[in-house]
Amino acid sequence: MKIVYTYSHLGGEEILQVHQPEILQEIRDVVSKVELRTAKVSREKTKMGRELVSPIDLNAGFKTLFNARGYQELRDTYTISVPNSGIEIPGAFKQVDFVKGKVLVEVQFGKYAFMFYDMAKFQYFFNENKADVGIEIVPSHTLHHRMSSGVSYGEQLVYDIERLKRTFPAVPVMVILVDSDLPTPTTV
């Protein structure tokens, strides 16, 4: 795979360049080593018969490569209590896929709501002083056309973050849009 665009929110990319250049290089290396293969033939009405990229395979590739470089999952478990209700729900948690030091990395090849929820998780761990910066790796619009319906694309996330200005997320974030090294299909 290749990086086709990066977006720096509140200096996320610059923080990495200055304070964590080795992590930034590791991220670039991981992206370049993830193999993108078409893994299934679509039965979807709008993409019938087309070979599509499997998000499950992509996530597995990222997991293998990040884990080999010492990245681990970060999970905070807590009990939810609602004020003035007596309700308590144990075992709730917030989780980020890959962490090294205080750099959080999420790889998101799912629906748009999950991309935006990742921003909330970055904010949570930043507020808990467990993160300095978050990195969101997402498909580009072009790659999204090669995947199942429902997979979102990073340009939408960047567009929305830009319109929220500095209000949310109030944590430095670098958004990385990735695409295939394979030739672009003629129909998208």
Predicted structure pTM score = 0.88
Tokens of 133: 């910066």
Buried b (16+ CB within 10 A) or exposed e, 73-106: ebeeeeeeeeeeeeeeeeeeebebbbbbebbbbb
- Token output for 165: 């200005």
Structural domains of the chain sorted by starting position, each given as residue range(s) with its CATH number in brackets: 2-179 (3.40.91.20)
In tens, the pLDDT along 97-139 reads 999 999 999 999 887 788 889 999 999 999 999 999 999 999 9
Identify the residue with better confidence: 112 or 159: 159
Q: Are 38 and 51 in contact (CB under 8 A)?
A: yes
